[in-house]
Amino acid sequence: MKNWKKIGIIVGIVVVVCAIVGFTVHESSKNVTTVQTGKVLRQDLSSTVSASGEIKPKTYVNIGANAFGKIVKLYVHEGDRVKKGQMLAQIENVQPGADVEANRASLEAAQTDSAAQEAALHTAQADLERANADLERAKLDYQRAEGLYAQALIAKQDYDAKKAAYDSAVAGVAQGKARIIQSRAQKESADRRIAQANANLVRARDVLNKTEYVAPFDGIVTNLPVREGETVVIGIQNAPGSTLMTLADMSVITAEVRVDETDIVNVHNGQAAGVTIDAMPKQTFHGVVTEIGNNAMVRSTGVSTSQSTAASQEAKDFKVVVTLTDPPENLRPGLSTTAKVTTSTKKAALTVPIQAITIRQRGDLQDKKADKKSVEAASPSATADPTKAKEELQGVFVVRSKKAQFVPVTTGISGVTDIEVLSGLGEGDDIVTGSYKVLRTLRNGTSVKVDNSAPKKESEEKS
């Protein structure tokens, strides 16, 4: 046989073998899924609840108008720091001042009348004492005259005169007692007029004092919606002209945020929180949860459910107040903020990436290629009970012998990117972490190929 024929035969055999090998590899690769994997690690884990809101001082007050009138003087500007008792604003007070003076004069007149009535009472008491003395003298004269007349030693005319004098003295005592009662009544009436005049004076002074506004505590004027010359009104909340200014005590600053109703059960007083402020990027301030609201608020309206007459299926939030422990001096009320409350922590927890956790039905974990008898033998309860076959299991896919094996797991607290695993896995296990599309459709027992290189963008794959 010629050499070229031998070479042709050898080349043909090589080509056939290569074709067979290529076909085998190609067919086998059809059932291999490319996945990304990660390790089960031990690390410190913190579970947090994030919520947004605004900066508010713990103590603030809207100083409203207590009287109707024109603002004649504003002593502060917005942003000023004030001390307790410092004058803030002055409303016109001509009429209230005149009322105070008139009532003061009425009080002084009533006090003078009371003094006069007290003097009259003393005079009446003196007159009564004199009348009692006259009565005593007249009584003695009458008794002597009565004895002498019985002995016929005096004339009847003298006896009658003594008797008349005695009767007059008795009447004089009665008259004196009546004058004392009258004087006491007039004195009590004068005292009542003093009390009335004093009450009117207190009322007038109160009206006058309400034309002057002083700071109830040390703080900062955070809002000043009025100007000198404007007229303020009383009794209309949040109406223009009814609020003079807002005074805030900036010594204690809080972040008032709204926490979703699904997270509020994990939030408790005393938990630490990290607070970020939109106006101060790349800075995190420390705080502590100091107040948790009891009433839910409808997210779209902000109205408490206790104030709503109809039930609502909308999402609800709860108010949570975080007190800052290290607030900066340049904070302003109303700044947008985000608080991350640390609800629980665990040291050296066994963790996996959150995206590795997936859900499968118990029936989907059976080997579909096996015959019915082997399936029933492997999992008789799942095949016998259709309801149990639809039971959802939480777990991860572990790479073992180049195959993805679904392992049910029990989870604990979750962090930002990782979640704690309480059972089912061991430290160092290789688990499937992506891609999302693969995890969604990956089946138990599927052959896998690990490729942890950076995933390509869709634009690059299309090109």
The answer to whether 88 and 76 are in contact (CB under 8 A) is yes
Token pair of 454 as six digits: 């950076």
Reference 438, options 399, 411, 392; nearest CA is 399
Reference 89, options 250, 255, 226; nearest CA is 226
The answer to whether 337 and 258 are in contact (CB under 8 A) is no
The predicted structure's pLDDT at residue 460: 45
Give the chain's radius of gyration (CA, Å). Answer: 50
What CATH number should be reported for the domain whose range is 49-58+247-346? 2.40.30.170
Give the count of beta carbons closer than 10 Å to the beta carbon of residue 313: 6
Torsion of CA 378, 384, 388, 394, to 10 degrees: 10
Domain spans of the chain, in order of start:
32-46+350-462, 49-58+247-346, 95-204
The answer to whether 273 and 288 are in contact (CB under 8 A) is yes
Which residues of the chain, if any, have pLDDT below 50?
21, 23-29, 368-379, 382-383, 458-463
Enclosing H/E stretch for 232: strand 231-232
The predicted structure's pLDDT at residue 3: 62
Torsion of CA 389, 390, 391, 395, to 10 degrees: 90
Torsion of CA 256, 259, 263, 265, to 10 degrees: 60
Token pair of 173 as six digits: 């005592």
Span between the terminal Cα atoms of the chain, in Å? 52
In sequence order, the 6+-apart residues with CB closer than 8 A to the CB of 28 are: none
Residue 320 pairs in a beta bridge with: 257, 292
The predicted structure's pLDDT at residue 310: 61
Reference 356, options 411, 431, 430, 300; nearest CA is 431
The predicted structure's pLDDT at residue 85: 92
Rounded-to-5 percentages of helix, strand, coil across the chain: 40, 35, 25
What CATH number should be reported for the domain whose range is 32-46+350-462? 2.40.420.20
pTM for this prediction: 0.61
The model's pLDDT over 233-279, given as tens digits with 9 standing for 90+, comes to 876 655 666 788 999 988 889 999 999 998 899 899 999 999 999 99
